[in-house]
Amino acid sequence: MKLDSIQKQLLAEIADLHSIPEGAYNIRSNSQSVGRVSTANIEITSKTDVSGMDIRIKPGTRHQSVHIPVVLTESGLSEVVYNDFFIGEDCDVVIIAGCGIDNCGKADSEHDGIHRFWVGKNSKVKYVEKHYGSGDGTGKRILNPGTEVYMDENSTMEMEMAQIKGVDDTDRKTVAELAAGAKLVVRERLMTHGKQRALSTYDVRLNGAGASADVVSRSVARDDSYQRFDAKIVGNAPCNGHTECDSIIMDNGRILAVPGLEANDVDAALVHEAAIGKIAGEQLTKLMTLGLTEQEAEEQIINGFLK
């Protein structure tokens, strides 16, 4: 597997990968698979009709991981990739995705990753997805992830999504359907700066008794950036749903939080919370009394907030 230093750095940013990962993996660089390993329990195959992969995880697979990072370093590249995950029953696995774009050129670079998950009964999945952009070209770095999650009875999925730096334009759409007893936890962290724009839309359907969803977004919008957080939870059975948008705005940043709750069952308990505001002056003051400058204080508060 040959990667140049920029590609290696992108991999480190998005997947904490400094060498070849353990377990199953596929590393995609500039639209090519540059390394792939399946294991006894996790099989990765290329799709034949469109660009992308099928990842099949055998029932009962426990404590194993799949890495599928994507890096783009050629300016002007635009791709749509479909990855389907078929996770058997009684699994306990970690899936690490993520996309890093380095664009030093004039043309826009775009990666649209469509990830679909079928999570089997009683299975537990942790999914981590980080987005990162670098490069000082004028071409935009664009990421439009689509995520679909179909959760069977009593399955659990924990999604951790982070986009902290360098992505100019994002339109993220996440839909989830939960059967009885299934549990979805989403933690999204987002920071935009410059003229960046980030949209994040959730549509979570709690279809079975005892299903629950907890979707929490923490974000910071600086400079002239814009964010929209649009979280909808539909309760079609006795269930629990909670969405939360907690945001800091700075400079000329703008944030729109759109709550959406729909209860179609008298025992659906749905809650939405949203708070948007600038950094509290007293927080800055407190850190300054510890000897930090105002900028240092700001940085610490934001780092902590997005941790």
Partner 1 sequence: MLELQHISFEVPENDATHEILRDVSLTVPAGRLVVITGPNGGGKSTLARLVMGIERPTSGAILFNGQDITSLSITERARLGISFALQQPVRFKGLQVLDLLRLASGRDITPSDACEYLSAVGLCARDYINREVNASLSGGELKRIEIATVLARGTALSIFDEPEAGIDLWSFQNLIQVFQDMRRDIRDSSIIIISHQERILNIADEIVVLQGGTLAMQGPRDQILPRLTGTASALQGCRRIGGGEQ
Helix (H/G/I), strand (E/B), else coil: 210: coil
Compare residues 223 and 299 and give the one whose CB is closer to partner 1. 299
Cα 60–chain centre separation: 26
Facing residues of 231 across strands? 202, 259
Helix (H/G/I), strand (E/B), else coil: 303: helix
Task: Please report how close the Cβ of residue 280 comes to partner 1 at its closest, in angstroms.
Answer: 7
Compare residues 33 and 300 and give the one whose CB is closer to partner 1. 300
Task: Please report how close the Cβ of residue 249 comes to partner 1 at its closest, in angstroms.
Answer: 15
Task: Please report how close the Cβ of residue 293 comes to partner 1 at its closest, in angstroms.
Answer: 5
Compare residues 32 and 291 and give the one whose CB is closer to partner 1. 291
Q: Report how far residue 294's alpha carbon sits from residue 45's, in angstroms, rounded to the nearest whole number.
A: 52
Which residue ranges make up the site for partner 1 (CB under 8 A)? 218, 246, 280, 282-283, 285-294, 300-301, 303-307
CA atoms within 13 A on the CB side of 220: 22
Compare residues 19 and 304 and give the one whose CB is closer to partner 1. 304
Tally DSSP H helices, then E strands, for the chain.
Answer: 3, 21
Task: Please report how close the Cβ of residue 177 comes to partner 1 at its closest, in angstroms.
Answer: 31
Compare residues 262 and 299 and give the one whose CB is closer to partner 1. 299
Task: Please report how close the Cβ of residue 279 comes to partner 1 at its closest, in angstroms.
Answer: 10
- For β-strands 156-165 and 169-178, DSSP reports them as unpaired
Cα 185–chain centre separation: 12
Q: Enter the tokens of residue 211.
A: 């299903």
Compare residues 136 and 282 and give the one whose CB is closer to partner 1. 282
Q: Report how far residue 42's alpha carbon sits from residue 66's, in angstroms, rounded to the nearest whole number.
A: 8
Task: Please report how close the Cβ of residue 17 comes to partner 1 at its closest, in angstroms.
Answer: 26
